[in-house]
Amino acid sequence: MVEGTAYSYSKEKEFTGGEDRRYIELNLGPQHPSTHGVYRGVVKLSGETIVDIDSVIGYLHRNHEKIYETMLYPQIVPMTDRFDYLSALTNEMLYVMTVEKALGIEVPERAEYLRVLFCEFQRIMSHEFYFGFFFNDIGALSPFFYVFKDRELSFDLMDRVSGARLFYNYFRIGGLRNDVPDGWLEDLKKFLDHLEGDSLPMFEELMLGNAIFHARTKGVGVLPPDVAIAYGVSGPVLRASGVKWDVRKSDPYSVYDKFDFDVPVGTTGDTYERCIMRFQEIKESIRICRQVMDRLPDGPVMGKVPKGIMKLPKGDYYQRIDSPRGEVGCYIVSDGAQNPYRFKWRSPAFVNLQVLPHLCKGAKLADLIAILASLDPVFGEVDK
């Protein structure tokens, strides 16, 4: 197949028999308007039926992990925002927790509560954005604009706290950069009231109750639980297949064990269930946010950290948390210097993308974008 062509014809043995059969290789991307991020998929078709698909990634590769090996530990915090840029605070949370574990730093209780609050607020923002993109991908334009209206409100809230709308650089090794401003928590409550009272009921009726949505998603891209586990899939994609695994519950971190919330689990593992999981997770995140605000203790938001240049003791350090896209992990190898000897980031979006060929085989070409969108990939995290 020649690079840059939309498709090519080739000959290959029929996959169910012995006779020769013509098939088509279709180049989807890397700048197709329907794809998420800079993604290229080489799709092998038999008529309208997908025989196989090869994901070609790397168009957004920025050499993150190697660059971190040349940076001081505090300098890495704002860089982590650029992994999963729809869930920047989750990335910051994971990294600072890894360093704090290595140094034995105790984080003030108020900072821990606020960290949970912001991570769940970030999950709400990410999942809501997901619905806008997903429905746009299957041909519904209106939901995209409704979602962006709420996104602007959430961006305004984050701007008041951190001074940024997307890349926040708000968490610090040992706590938070600053406390929330006066009146901010009350405005967050109003935003959550708006979500529960207006946005979510509208989404449920306009989108999730739509007959076309059901026809495009039910029974499409089914992921059995054994296959999901074998591939290391996590997050809503895994839970939609009936596997009840959420690091917040299964291996609690921070102060998540102090809050009451459920882990939504599906049964069918299809594209429909993967959408429903995220809708239910928004409700649970709102539930957690309200509990945090009701129980938020007083006190400082920054703990004691080593003075001077920060150096981690020699050794290997690993931490994992649950992000909107699944289980994300940070692995640091230290030789005692002021920068990591080796840095590795486990990207759930990258891992989840590996099941795409399994989900697509036998499906129609028209279903491909819906299946890809149901994985909710962020290619800044896939490529790093």
CA distance 336 to 74: 15
Average pLDDT over residues 330-353: 94
Q: Per residue in 9-66, pLDDT tens?
A: 344 444 444 444 678 888 887 765 555 568 888 999 888 889 999 988 888 888 899 9
Phi, psi of 288 (to 5 degrees): -65, -45
- Mean pLDDT for the chain overall: 88
Q: What is the mean pLDDT of residues 325-343?
A: 95
User: Is the domain 64-361 a CATH 1.10.645.10 member?
Assistant: yes
At residue 301 the predicted structure's pLDDT band, cuts being 50, 70 and 90, is very high
Q: What is the 3-state secondary structure (H, E, C) of the chain?
A: CCCCCCEEEEEEECCCCCCEEEEEEEEECCCCCCCCCCCEEEEEEECCEEEEEEEECCCCCCCHHHHHCCCCHHHHHHHHCCCCCCCHHHHHHHHHHHHHHHHCCCCCHHHHHHHHHHHHHHHHHHHHHHHHHHHHHCCCCHHHHHHHHHHHHHHHHHHHHHCCCCCCCCEECCEECCCCCCCHHHHHHHHHHHHHHHHHHHHHHHHHCCHHHHHHHCCCCCCCHHHHHHHCCCCHHHHCCCCCCCHHHHCCCCCHHHCCCCCCCCCCCCHHHHHHHHHHHHHHHHHHHHHHHHHCCCCCCECCCCCCCCCCCCEEEEEEEEECCEEEEEEEEECCCCCCCEEEEECHHHHHHCCHHHHHCCCEHHHHHHHHHHCCCCHHHHHC
The whole-number pLDDT of residue 79 equals 92
Q: Model confidence at 307, in pLDDT bands (50, 70, 90)?
A: confident
Q: What are phi and psi of 224, to 5 degrees?
A: -65, 150
Pinpoint the residues of the chain covered by CATH 1.10.645.10.
64-361
Mean pLDDT throughout 175-192? 95
Measured between alpha carbons, how far is 350 from 384 in angstroms, rounded to an integer? 10
Residue-wise pLDDT for 361-372, tens only, equals 988 988 998 999
Give the global pTM.
0.89
Mean pLDDT of 96-102: 95
The arithmetic mean of pLDDT across residues 57-80, rounded, is 91
For the chain, what percent of residues have pLDDT higher than 90?
62
Q: What is the pLDDT of residue 19?
A: 45
CA distance 263 to 189: 23
Whether pLDDT at 266 is above 80: yes
Cα–chain center distance at 6: 30
Q: What is the pLDDT of residue 232?
A: 93
Burial class (CB in 10 A: 0-12, 13-18, 19+), 334: buried
